[in-house]
Every structure is written in C-alpha cells, then in structure tokens.
Structure 1
Amino acid sequence: MILKKILWTLKRHPFLYLTRFRLLSKNSNINEIMGYSYNIINDKKDIPNYFTKINDTIFKNDEQISDFDLVKKLGNWLVDNVNGGPGLSVPSEDALKIMLAGKGGVCSDMVQIFNNFCVINDIKVREWGVTRAPFNTDYGGHSFNEVYIKELNKWIMIDVSYCALFYLDGDTPLSVTEFYKLLREGKKVSYKIFNTSIAVEHESIDKNYLNPDNVPFLICNYSNKVYDSFLKTFRPLIPIFIIHFFLFIIGKSYNYKFPLDNYKNIFS
C-alpha cells in the first residue's frame, strides 16, 4: 500500500508532468495535422477482440446508422455503462473490462477506449488533451476526442465523458481548432449534452474548455498494439512512467502536437 502511494505521488508530480511535455511536445499548425487520425496508426486487426464483442452488443439492432448517430450512441452507451473511478494504466482490453465493471476509468481512459470503438466502426478519430499555459499545479488537464463525420464532411469535437458537443450557431458541431479560434476571437460558443440521464456541471465545462489559459494539443502516434504489448509484459513490475520513458527512448512513444500555440508557453 505504501509503495502504491509513493508511485501515485511520483506519477503526478509536477516535475514529471512538465518533463513529459518537454520530451513529447512539438509545435505544429492546422495544415500539418489535417490528414492525421488515430486510425492511421491503429488497424482493426490491432484492436482486441473484446472490443468487437462489446461493439456487437451496442449496435446489435442497427443495420444502417449515420456516423453522427453512431458516435452519439456509442458515447451514450459508454457513459451509461461506465461509472468511472481511478485512472488506469493497463492494456486496453483490461481497461475496458475494469471500466465496465465499475472499478475505474478517468477521461483519458474513456477517450482511449472510444478511439478503439471508432476504429472498429470505420470512424476516423483523434485524441486531444488540454493543459494550461503557463502551467498550473491546480489543474490536471483533460482529454477528449474529435471524429470525422462523413455526412457533415468535417471533423467535430466530442467529449465522451460529458456527452458534449460544441457549437457556434446552427446545428453543425465545431471542430477542435474551430472551437478554440472562435473562443479566442471572443465569440460566444455553446455546448449541448446529448445524454439526458447525466447532469453535467457548467463549472466542469468552464474549467476544461472555456478557461482562457487552456491550450489544446493533439496526441499523435499512439499505437494501441505497442502499448498493450509493453503493458502486458511489464506492468505491474515496472512503474508506468518508466515504461513510457523506455518507449520514448526507442522511438515508439506517442507525441503532442500544438497546432494553435507555442508549447513553450507552458513553462513560462
């Protein structure tokens, strides 16, 4: 128990948090990220079969469904069946089983399993994170997704943990870069919760999206197959941050791309 507490403290220490950003971050631009998706790195065959089994349960009566309705139904199902809990650093199949058993899962865990479901369903998906610039020790960050909706011919920003979509005017959701550019122009963006069974506090949306110090970054090059392999082999023998650092050393790690901001502002 004491060792677990020590490792938990180390994992969340500001030094490790900032070190991760120094090692993994790259300045980018909107054009550079335009063609990127999680699906490029992760093929259907690389997703554990358990995801397909659960996916068949979610969509068992849906012969034809639009991309937009599919991602909303998936988000609704996950929120209705995952209670959340401690953060997980386990292989993706184990993460999904733990989350469905009501024994864990934070926003980043929800985002990662949502990624895999999107791959199975031929939906292009991205994983985003948000931090503060300058760094704020009181804010631990947040994770969310972006999906490409073929019938809308665009990427849209979606928060699966809150079942939230974001808008300016009309019924077409905003992409991540659209959202942040409009926000910084002083435009009044809004959000809609598409799950009627949950109550989302405005303070959570304000903290994770509307705070003027928030800086979004795209998480790139995350290979579910690679991370599953290393986590199965080395967890719980080796602390998770050491596994991540080893993957960085051998060039198999994910990285952060900042299309709208200079990541060095985090350290100012």
Structure 2
Amino acid sequence: MDAPLMARCACCDTEFPLRPGPGRPKSYCTVACRSRSQRQRDRHRETHPQQTTDTAEAESGRRILGQVLAAARSERGLDLPVIAVRTGLPPQTVRLVLTGAATCTWGETRRLAHVLSVRSGEVQHLWESAQGLPRAGSGPGFGAAVTVLRDALAGLHRAAGRPTAEALAHTTGLHAPTVAAILRGDWAPDWQATALLAAALGAQPALLRPLWERLHYAFLTSPDQYPHHGTPTRPARDRPPTPPAFVREEEASRGRRQPPAPPPRPR
C-alpha cells in the first residue's frame, strides 16, 4: 500500500495526511487551525490597512511572493520558529507571508529574503505589486533594467519549482536555448516571449509588463533600435547585435521573414 500524501498545516506547521479525491487540497489539519488562521489574518488587516487591496495584480503579487519565500524555505529546510528568531518577526506573521495571506513591510520582507537566501530583486517587484504601488514608465539604464527583469523571472521560476528550460520550452513554444538565455539574463526578450514565460511560470503576464516596458524604454533611449525578436544584453561595440542561431530558428518557426544576408565582401 502506498504511503499517504502528506501536507504541512499553514497554521500550526505540523504534517497531516491528505485524503485523495477531487477538490482543492486542504491547507489546515483541523477546523480549529483554519479558524485560528482566519482570526490572525483579520488582526493583521486591522494593523496593516495597506494590505487590504484586492486588485487582481495585488492578489497575484502577494500569492507569488509567498510561493517564492515558501519554496526557499523548503530548499533551506528551516522551521518557522527558526525563521521567526532570525528575522525578529512573530511566527504568525511569517506564516501569513509564506502562505500568501498577507505581506509585511519592505524592510521585513528583505530580512525574510536574506534569511532564506533569496535575492531582494526576486521579491521586490512582487512586494510592490502586492502593495498596489504605482509603477513608473521609465527607470534606470538598460543594464539595470535587464537585471530587474531577470531577478523577477528568477523569483517566478523559484516559485514554480524551478522547471527545466526544456519543460518551459514545451509549454511556451519557445526554444529551450532561448528560455535558458532569458533566465540567465543573457537575452532581453520581446514582450511575447516575456508573457509566455510569465504564464508558464504561473503568473499573470501583466505582473511583468511594467518591468518589460522599463527595459524597452531604456533601449529606446539608447542609440540602437530595439529588434522585434529581442536583443543580447551585452552586444558587441564594433557591430550591431545579431540574433543568435536559436533566435533565427525561432523566427523561422514563427513564419517571419528573415532579413536578407549581407552581400559578400569583394576580394
């Protein structure tokens, strides 16, 4: 007989067996834990009124922020009391953040990320989205904008369980080398590829739209023209950026006309 599937209670942090069958998996071991968690959320909303925004983007940012931190906690193998002691936060606050039920201040979120070995760039945009903060259309230079988008994708990648480039390529229709280059930050994707990756990683594409627009704006204000297929993040200075082989193959698979080859140099 197979061992029962175990889950961890979002309130008391104890393991309990999941009953097989249809429906949403349980998050609490007992009704008492579920009621206690609801009371904690209500008290948290009273002391943090800025957390009560219920827009789709805010809900998505809060949920994925919790998934990123919870995945990092599983990777580190840390218990909630240990995280609470190292961050100086109450255990119930840590539990609410990791379950995506609420968020704390940015300073507290950075401490949580540091304890869990998560780069602050992986969670900053998610935290800002959860707070409903306005996003500026312009920002820092091209290199900094690439880093921000790369870190945001890294956070989504962690929250999704770090699927392989091949698995994401199968889901998105992109080539696996394209996906790997985007996740490494070696290739700045166009919006279509960014939206496909965001959806494949379980997030709404609109969550990354401001970051991609900031990247696009940074490139538009540079002397070069932004190619429709994307651009390398470190182009050569002595020649315009040329799409690599995996991008040219992807362009052909999309049915786009390739630019004519340059004429041969006279000998």
Which range, TM-score by smaller chain? under 0.3
Higher relative contact order (CA 8 A, sep 6+): 1
Structure label with greater radius of gyration: 2
TM-score, structure 2 length as denominator?
Answer: 0.27
Q: Relative to total residues, which structure has the larger helix share, 1 or 2?
A: 2
